[in-house]
């Protein structure tokens, strides 16, 4: 079972010719909304991969549809509460090269009480997994509780916050970073990647693939599959969710990496975030085509 203390956002997408410069007013050529947030994306990816997932989070009065959407993909939404605080939302600009910039309003994600998180984790067992990101409250407390109960703790250090990482790090099983976050963390800690003391480290590098390294010295690498991207938003979350599902299913780090890399590659060929994350069947068909 995978528990996810994660954000739930309403994503507002704007298609632009290029990413705006400071002081520039830029007309968008297209606009749409969808379900997002690093937490919701990762829960969606893990559920579409076939894992049992319970999401722990909060939405505002405007967020009932988000709960229903997650439930429709098989996510257990029992531990999602509806608060008076508006739902989190993101303003996402996507350019012609599929790169993006994102402005995030945390909203209800940061208003969730600890009691709801603690209650959700009460039934968790050592064979279970907790996944976390930096878009909610109570990451450090949840990681400590999960670690004490013997769960695997997979932590995506994004959006990057050095203090948040320091608070969580000693409870983490697998630390997930992208290339930029890896550089930021090394600079903040004054250490190389190999010196960061966690049992497992996973670094995603976009078109340069993804690497997994363990404290024991073991290594694994998955090259990126060559595709024509149209929207990279949520690719890292797709990777993290599929990797968590793979490990939950008992896959080796190498097999989980390869599976996650294929899912992320397929995702970037589609516009959107949670809605665009592929199912396990779609990933299997895609991998067959790539052979």
Which residues participate in catalysis according to the annotation? 237
Q: Can you name the residues that pair with 88 across neighbouring β-strands?
A: 9
Given a contact cutoff of 8 angstroms between Cβ atoms, the answer to whether 95 and 16 are in contact is yes
Q: To the nearest 10°, the Cα dihedral for 164, 165, 168, 172?
A: 150
d(CA 284, CA 271): 20
3-state secondary structure of 279: coil
d(CA 4, CA 130): 6
Phi-psi region of 217 (alpha: psi -120 to 50; beta: other; left: phi over 0): left
Q: Which two tokens stand for residue 139?
A: 């990451």
Given a contact cutoff of 8 angstroms between Cβ atoms, the answer to whether 112 and 57 are in contact is yes
Q: Which two tokens stand for residue 226?
A: 């060559």
């Amino acid at each position: 079972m995978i528990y996810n203390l994660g954000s739930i956002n309403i994503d507002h997408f704007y298609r632009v010719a290029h990413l705006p410069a400071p002081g520039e007013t830029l007309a968008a050529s297209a606009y749409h909304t969808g379900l997002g947030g690093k937490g919701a994306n990762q829960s969606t990816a893990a559920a579409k991969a076939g894992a049992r997932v319970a999401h722990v989070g909060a939405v505002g009065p405007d967020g009932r549809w988000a709960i229903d959407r997650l439930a429709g993909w098989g996510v257990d939404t029992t531990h999602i509460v509806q608060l008076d605080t508006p739902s989190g939302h993101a303003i996402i600009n996507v350019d012609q090269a599929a790169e993006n910039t994102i402005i995030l309003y945390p909203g209800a994600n940061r208003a969730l009480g600890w009691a709801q998180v603690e209650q959700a984790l009460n039934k968790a067992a050592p064979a279970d997994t907790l996944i976390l990101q930096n878009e909610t409250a109570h990451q450090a407390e949840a990681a400590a509780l999960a670690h004490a109960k013997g769960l695997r703790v997979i932590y995506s250090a994004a959006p990057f916050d050095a203090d948040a990482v320091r608070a969580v790090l000693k409870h983490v099983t697998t630390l997930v970073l992208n290339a930029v976050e890896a550089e930021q963390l090394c600079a903040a800690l004054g250490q190389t990647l190999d010196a960061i003391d966690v049992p497992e480290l996973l670094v995603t590098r976009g078109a340069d693939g993804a690497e997994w390294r363990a404290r024991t010295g073991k290594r694994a690498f998955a090259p990126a599959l060559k595709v024509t991207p149209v929207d990279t938003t949520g690719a890292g979350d797709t990777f993290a969710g599929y990797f968590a599902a793979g490990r939950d299913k008992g896959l080796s780090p190498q097999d989980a990496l390869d599976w996650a890399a294929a899912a992320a590659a397929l995702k970037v060929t589609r516009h959107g975030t949670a809605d665009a994350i592929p199912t396990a069947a779609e990933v299997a068909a895609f991998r067959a085509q790539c052979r």
